[in-house]
Amino acid sequence: MRTLASFSCALLLCSVSAFGQNGLAAKPPMGWNSWNHFAGHVTDADVRSAADELVSTGMRDAGYVYVNVDDTWQGERDAQGVLHTNSRFPDMKALGDYIHSKGLKFGIYSSPGAKTCGGYAGSLGHEAQDAKMYASWGVDFLKYDLCSFQDNMNQAKAEHPNDPNAAKDLMIAAYRKMGDALKATGRPILYSLCQYGVDQPWKWGPGLGANMWRTTDDIDDSYGRMIAIGFSQAGLSKYAAPGHWNDPDMLEVGNGKMTEDEYKTHMSLWVILAAPLLAGNDLSKMSDSDKSILMNKDAIAIDQDSLGKQGDRLYESGDLDVWTKPLSGGRVAVGLFNRSWSVREVSVDLAAIGFRNGGNVRDVWEQKDMGQRKGVVTETLPKHGAALLIVSK
Ligand code: GLA
């Protein structure tokens, strides 16, 4: 009996780590989120049109299925504690139905604090009630953003000056509470932690059912911020696995303040990182270049590869960086990056990444096979540019 019990337990633990506790996010989640473009002005109509555009542009069929309403949808709580929407979102259930009717999934946003980052009502003290309401609306994804809960943490720190973990324990308990509330609804709801990497959520997130967790503070549509976040992910690869992923924040591709080469660098880094791919642009105004970056099939396949391994830095030399990501079938994705302000050559030695006898090389952005190569492969990259290669035997 003892042997049997510990065997089942081992099996249970195995299934938790392989698929996540709710069976979701076997691959890094893909979709669209309202924040990076619409921020606090988002409306029901914007979200419906994003759902339409996901279908008409081919984004849905490329894998972008979550339609996530970020902060600022909330109104006031009534005497029963029920949170109502504000006038920009007249009927969340109808919005969810519309999104589902397009073959897409519906995401929403809240905070463990009394207030969200935008100053709207958070879920503090109403976790189970809110989770049930989301489930009744058909919600498939919750982003849970720390925001004003940092005040509660500061208070815990002040009240327990000798306990170095007081704030951290309180925060983890708050995230566990909503995780449990989501589970109790019986509806599989993808759980996305957003607390900017405070206290290493990659270490405790999986234990409370998180499917992804932000690793850093917010991205913005600038090359400097994007690479600061992207290249700071070195060393985190061991914490990502099917069911739960590191999240270096949403995509800025198409928002207009980076060059095409810089957006290719952004997408190259994010797919090497097996990051959730949540587009954050106005889908009704995508240029051909935005589409070709966001919908490059090989790039998406690197992100979504069935091996489920995050990539990591191979080496860094001044402004040049080489990152690799192991792929299924013994293949390897290679990201070559030029962070300098001039054209530079960046190389990778195939022998150093497991291809002593050479391999077939495909250039993802050029969409062309470079044929059988051996030894050092060199790419000439424009300033802030990247090459993305897939090497196979
Ligand atoms: C925080 C999050 C952002 C966004 C805003 C909304 O800054 O990190 O992604 O959700 O809040 O207020």
Please tell me the distance between residue 215's alpha carbon and the centre of ligand 1 in angstroms.
13
Distance (angstroms) between ligand 1 centre and the Cα of 219 equals 10
Query: Which regions of the chain are under pLDDT 70?
Result: 1-20
In this structure, are residues 141 and 192 in contact, taking their beta carbons and an 8 Å threshold? yes
Q: Which listed residue (52, 180, 218, 312) is catalytic?
A: 218
The pLDDT of residue 315 is 96
Please give the pLDDT value at position 13.
41
Q: Assess whether 298 carries a catalytic annotation.
A: no
**What confidence score (pLDDT) does residue 347 get?**
98
pLDDT at residue number 19: 56
The answer to whether residue 218 is catalytic is yes
Pairing outcome for strands 332-338 and 368-373:
unpaired
pLDDT at 192: 98
Q: Residues 143, 35: contact at Cβ < 8 Å? A: no
Which pLDDT belongs to residue 157? 97
Choose one of 34, 117, 249 to mutate for the ligand 1 pocket test, by most ligand atoms within 8 angstroms of C-beta: 117
Asked if 71 and 116 count as a contact pair (C-beta separation under 8 A), the reply is: yes
Question: How far apart are the CA of 34 and the centre of ligand 1, in A?
Answer: 10
Greatest C-alpha distance within the chain: 71
pLDDT in tens, 340-372: 999 999 999 999 999 999 999 999 999 999 999
Q: Assess whether the C-beta atom of 40 lies below 6 angstroms from ligand 1.
A: no
Alpha carbon distance 264, 268 (integer Å): 6
Domains along the chain? 30-303 (3.20.20.70), 312-392 (2.60.40.1180)
Name the closest-CA residue to atom 9, ligand 1. 218
Question: Which of these is catalytic: 46, 71, 140, 145?
Answer: 145
pLDDT the model gives residue 21: 79
Question: 41: which 2 tokens?
Answer: 């002005």
| 70 CB within 6 A, ligand 1 | yes
